[in-house]
Chains A and B, each alone.
Chain A
């Protein structure tokens, strides 16, 4: 069974459109993330949710809006898509370790390759 799944895997759309990417994890984790990986493979965090609550919101245009209906799901909606939004978007999840501090590993989904034309 896939631990972190994303749909769709590929998304090709035109500038100005609105699109959504869905993410689900079956690991029972409390925390979920969205990352953007550009063409040079640089991976940058966009958002983080813990138990449906937004806890990290990096400098991301407000055209990007995450939604967490429950702690197993974190969807990403993008309005008015621009050429620069073309990238691979990764969802990830983690269970924060409660003993000894906050070290944790993250589990990544397979990615969604978004191409804006």
Chain B
């Protein structure tokens, strides 16, 4: 079964508002990553948080990780129409070296209305 599951499946907000997206997973992880996918394009890496970290920031992005609850959240502050995209969380399991792989969730569709 899937490792990461995002919530909500779709989110529609007004430009300038904050967007919060959640991801839950089932097994112990080494790291969790968030990716963005614009329509018809490939995925773009946004941020990586390791299992021993609780919070990371990158520009308008803030990611938290709660390993006790097996959950992560991605906050986009002061959203822009250009943030409209699908957002995926991906979990890297506790395995070694190049055998590590990422397991992706189904994604969240974010629409930011101008």
Closest 6 CB pairs of A and B: A108-B42, A50-B98, A103-B31, A105-B45, A43-B104, A102-B100
Contact partners of B100 in chain A: CB under 8 A: 96, 102, 104
A7 to chain B, nearest CB (A): 14
Contact yes or no, B88 A102, CB < 8 A? no
Residues of B at the A interface (CB closer than 8 Å) are 30-31, 33, 35, 37, 40-45, 48, 50, 86, 88, 92, 95-104, 106-107
Q: Of all chain B residues, which has the CB nearest A108?
A: B42
Contact yes or no, B48 A105, CB < 8 A? yes
Contact partners of B92 in chain A: CB under 8 A: 102-104
Contact partners of A50 in chain B: CB under 8 A: 98
Contact yes or no, A106 B45, CB < 8 A? yes
In the complex, A4 has a CB within 8 A of chain B: yes
